[in-house]
A and B are shown apart, each in its own frame.
Chain A
Amino acid sequence: MKPESIQAQMNKIDRELLVLLQERMGLFLRSTKTGAADPEAALKKPLLADADQMNLDLIESGFSNRLLQIIIEESQRLKNEDRPLVAFQGEHGAYGEVAARRLVPGGAYIPCLEFNDVFDGVENGQFDLGVVPVENSLEGAVTQVNDLLTTTGLKIQGEAKVPVKHCLLAPETTDYRDIRMVYSHPQALAQCREFLMRNKLEPRPYYDTAGAAKMLARENPKAAAAIASSLSAELYNLNIIKEGVEDGPSNRTRFLLMSREGAAGGNKTSVIFCTPHKAGSLYSVLRLFAENNINLTRIASMPLRSDPENYSFFLDFEGAAGDAPVDDVLQKMTALTISLKQLGTYPADEA
């Protein structure tokens, strides 16, 4: 091994240690919300005992004790800061985290494997807030999230329209001319379809954009790159080969900030409703908005998973629950629909 590659390997391990510590801090903060007495007290003993039993000849128990003590002290300090816990789907560096940082500055951002982990976690109180993508300007609705909006009880507290600048990332040792495969979330791959075709690159679906970046950094598979945010490049020490590889010039994703209580107020309202299967029933609902001069900002339909051939309709409009015309429309809607779910009134992102 050359001296410079030994140094590079150590740098890589240091970065990984920091990312792992970040994840551990997040898990600890999450555990404090579960109501368990003092989670660290329970963890402390077995962990220290393990360090002794692992036969790590270079890690003496005195050192591991000191190290863990420092980590525990830092965890406690973070706990006392009492930052809001904000869940997003994906690994650190995901676009959800980019959106979460914008929506809740100064939060603690916790990665979740799946969208329903975000919704469940907020519902059962492990997180204060959740950030989820609802639609993208190139690819349309994020169906899984829209489905969870219909089935869970969370309210919308805010929204952010986040410009999505995809980057092609690869480890430093990978020559861009050798790249043949590109790992990323299927949505991201779809948003960069033309770029991939132009350069004869094979798309490889992965569960998350940042997850793909993390995997590249750890495993360094041959001839592979990832499509992810520039934040991921920083976190996982990858080279940005090209910035802005998405096909459309204005690739934006709209994220929703979800909470248990919803926002105190705002100028935009979202509802989901189902109408009976008879002629003109959808029209009769939409007519109410036209007659009251309420501007619709989104209308989308999605098949009901529980009831094939029936659809739920997603409606976003300008106006707040509590305003007379809006309340009037909502009240009349109740009579015209099978179900009507109010997701809340919140401040619109005018960006």
Chain B
Amino acid sequence: MKDLKLTARNASEPTVITVGECRFGEGLVVVAGPCSVESEKQTIDTARAVKAAGADMLRGGAFKPRTSPYAFQGLGLQGLKLLAKARRETGLPVVTEVIDPRDVSWVAEFADMLQIGTRNMQNFALLKEVGRCSKPVLLKRGMYSTLNEWLNCAEYILSEGNPSVILCERGIRTFETYTRNTLDLSAVPAIKELTHLPIIVDPTHSTGRLGLIAPMSMAAVAAGVDGLIIEVHIQPEEALCDAGQAMHPQHFSRLMGRLRSISAFMKGETDEAGKHSSTNE
């Protein structure tokens, strides 16, 4: 870990990254929205629904890295325009994935934060390109990656001059097949020991099972995560991508209430712990 000149925790205070009015690294930031941008109505309706439920930020894919080249690849530029429109309508900042270095400056024109997906975590050309842009980057953990490899990828972005990287744990591949991946929740406190950068959790892709999203979200907040990114679709059964793992806005709204309570409780705990440690000194 000694090569992590800019990423390592060392003595530095945790970094707070501002995206619109959201502050990653200070309280709980919840990002929600559809897997992919499919149409104007679906995007705007979902954006309004997640805003009403209390989400802080909108997600939505315009460029989709799909396992099969024949699967829906995303709306591209049209999708970016729809996301920008959803932001105008709701005021929610927008995060979207970029998969091609040639798209980086264009995605940065429309989105408030750029996402590097799990399959591209070690796409170094792409990392360097987002390192040169002026928008914060959400760096998802590679599904086969160690914490060290992941943090080195953050170092790539930081070393190009972009100081705003938010890490996202999204599950890793294990021998278990019941869940889509295995959510590595221990990564949350571990990352807090290793780096000053904020970390969020994606309970949707890590479990791939609707029933597990709410419990794992709550567990992540209890583990001290800075935020969550959750798939919500206005009509989950009709989603063009990853149908069956997106939450219905109603369920998401209920979950939001619980998450805020746990977050408030955890904040009290941390403050209390802080007080104790200072009296000990």
Contact = CB atoms under 8 A, between A and B. Distances in A.
Contact of A198 (B77, B81, B105, B110): B105
A177 interface: yes
A177 B103 contact: yes
B110 to A, nearest CB: 7
Interface residues of B, number: 11
B109 A242 contact: yes
B105 A176 contact: no
Interface in B62-113: 77, 81, 100, 102-103, 105-106, 108-110
Contacts of A10: none
A177 B100 CA distance: 10
A198 B106 CA distance: 9
Interface string A225-247: 00000000000000001100000
Contacts of A200: 105
Nearest to A241: B77
B147 to A, nearest CB: 33
Contacts of A176: 77, 106
Nearest to B105: A199
Contacts of A198: 105, 108-109, 134
A195 B109 CA distance: 9
Contacts of B106: 176-177, 199
A242 B81 CA distance: 8
A252 to B, nearest CB: 19
Contacts of A241: 77
Contacts of A177: 100, 102-103, 106
Given A176-B77, A241-B77, A199 B109 contact: yes
A176 B77 CA distance: 9
B110 A242 contact: yes
Interface string B127-155: 00000001000000000000000000000
Contacts of B103: 177
Nearest to A244: B84
Interface in A12-37: none
A176 B105 CA distance: 11
A176 B134 CA distance: 20
A252 B109 CA distance: 21
Contacts of B100: 177
A241 B106 CA distance: 10
Contacts of B102: 177
Interface in A235-264: 241-242
Contacts of B110: 242
Interface in B207-262: none
Interface in B158-209: none
Most buried by B among A177, A199, A200, A241: A177
A241 B81 CA distance: 9
A94 to B, nearest CB: 24
A256 to B, nearest CB: 32
A176 B102 CA distance: 10
B269 to A, nearest CB: 42
Contacts of B109: 195, 198-199, 242
Contacts of A195: 109
Nearest to A199: B105
Contacts of B81: 242
Contacts of B108: 198
A181 to B, nearest CB: 15
A176 B106 CA distance: 9
Contacts of A199: 105-106, 109
Most buried by A among B100, B103, B106, B108: B106
A64 B235 CA distance: 57
A177 B105 CA distance: 9
A196 to B, nearest CB: 11
B90 to A, nearest CB: 18
Nearest to A168: B109
A231 B22 CA distance: 36
B162 to A, nearest CB: 14
Contacts of A242: 81, 109-110
A200 B101 CA distance: 14
A294 to B, nearest CB: 41
A198 B103 CA distance: 13
A320 to B, nearest CB: 40
A177 B99 CA distance: 13
Nearest to B103: A177
Contacts of B134: 198
Interface string A39-65: 000000000000000000000000000
Interface string A167-202: 000000000110000000000000000010011100
Nearest to B134: A198
The 8 closest A-B pairs by CB, nearest first: A177-B102, A199-B105, A242-B109, A176-B77, A198-B105, A176-B106, A177-B103, A241-B77
Interface of A: 176-177, 195, 198-200, 241-242
16 contacts: A176-B77, A176-B106, A177-B100, A177-B102, A177-B103, A177-B106, A198-B105, A198-B108, A198-B109, A198-B134, A199-B105, A199-B106, A199-B109, A241-B77, A242-B81, A242-B109
Given A176-B77, A198-B134, 16 more contacts: A176-B106, A177-B100, A177-B102, A177-B103, A177-B106, A195-B109, A198-B105, A198-B108, A198-B109, A199-B105, A199-B106, A199-B109, A200-B105, A241-B77, A242-B81, A242-B109
